[in-house]
Amino acid sequence: MKKFLIKTFLYITSAIIGIQLISFLYIETDFLNGALRYPGHKIYFAIKKSKSKSTKKILLLGDSVAKSLFPTGEEAEINSLATNQAIGVPGNYFLLKNYLDAGNTIETLVIIYNPYSLKNNLNQKYSYHYFLKPFFNDEYVNYFSVNLLEQIEMIPNKNYLLIPSIRATLWSPNFPQSKNLITDESGNSNNTKYSYLSPLSIEYLNKIKDLSIKNGFDIKLLPAPTSTNKKINFISFQKETEKTNLIEEFKFYLDNLNYVDPKYFSDGIHLNNQEIKNYYITKIRKLILE
């Protein structure tokens, strides 16, 4: 009986260790060559790429619409680190900082966002997968502001992030999701509403602006083509941008906002008509290079 228990213990222990090792290798090396896609795999790829040297002088950040417009990530003049709106502006700030800390220099930073992507205050369904898993660690925590720490404090089970098999699965805890209200660390709202720019978006856009001043590059904020049934309230949007240090950049953003017939979108956000998409790719590229 004793031998049976020992063998059972060793078998279970080996299985647990094996699962964790395979999960770790899966995330760190993508050894299955993309046959299975763990949640947020594009974020890990962007992090690795952000630490690589590049001679290109235009860097692109943005949401999944930006990524769909420049899917290869290696355009003639542009190096793209665009991923998904779920990483929020803080995640894009970390990618930019990686890129600059790797010794890269740029002349222009282009940020392409759907107007509603800036609402993300890291209180969404995929915040656990796309932001916490890749960024809540010793490498980035020193760049977490008090507001950011308070926000993610509301997300439970953060210690589970140390378990490779959890990182490699779709499991995530339930937590209070987006209500477009500014909340404190206890989850209490102060009833300050926002419609377009979340507090964390504003704070980390200002940090990006600080990096642009320090490193001598320009910022171009560009809107993604937007469905006509998702028109913004221009005055409200403009008023919220006044809390940022990018007043002129947002003026350029709003001046170039284009609305497109809903029939050309697959999901209300991403264009599914290649001819229309090519038109806006050309138009955006011209705005980037001018």
What domain range includes position 31?
A: 1-36
Chain length of the chain = 290
- pLDDT tens digit sequence for 158-178: 777 766 666 666 666 666 655
Q: Are residues 50 and 28 in the same domain?
A: no
Q: Are residues 159 and 233 in the same domain?
A: yes
- pLDDT tens digit sequence for 197-237: 999 999 999 999 999 999 999 999 999 999 999 999 999 99
Both tokens of residue 65? 């619409």
Q: Are residues 26 and 117 in the same domain?
A: no
What is d(CA 193, CA 175) in angstroms, rounded to the nearest whole number? 19
Q: Are residues 144 and 197 in the same domain?
A: yes
Q: Are residues 51 and 23 in the same domain?
A: no
Q: Give ∠ CA 211-103-46 in degrees, rounded to 5.
A: 80
% of the chain exceeding 70 in pLDDT? 74
Q: Quick one: pLDDT band at residue 129, thresholds 50, 70, 90? A: confident
CATH code of 124's domain: 3.40.50
Q: Quick one: pLDDT band at residue 14, thresholds 50, 70, 90? A: low
Beta bridge partners of 218: 108
Q: Are residues 57 and 167 in the same domain?
A: yes
What is d(CA 34, CA 288) in angstroms, rounded to the nearest whole number? 32
Assess whether pLDDT exceeds 60 at residue 15.
no
Q: Quick one: pLDDT band at residue 35, thresholds 50, 70, 90? A: very low
Please provide the average confidence, as pLDDT, over all residues in the chain.
Answer: 83
Cα 242 off chain centre by: 23
Q: Are residues 161 and 102 in the same domain?
A: yes
Beta bridge partners of 60: 80, 110
Split into its structural domains, the chain has a count of 2
Task: Give residue for tokens 């990018």.
Answer: 246
What is d(CA 52, CA 288) in angstroms, rounded to the nearest whole number? 23
Q: Which of residues 98 and 42 earns the better pLDDT score? A: 98
Q: Are residues 23 and 65 in the same domain?
A: no
What is d(CA 79, CA 290) in angstroms, rounded to the nearest whole number? 17
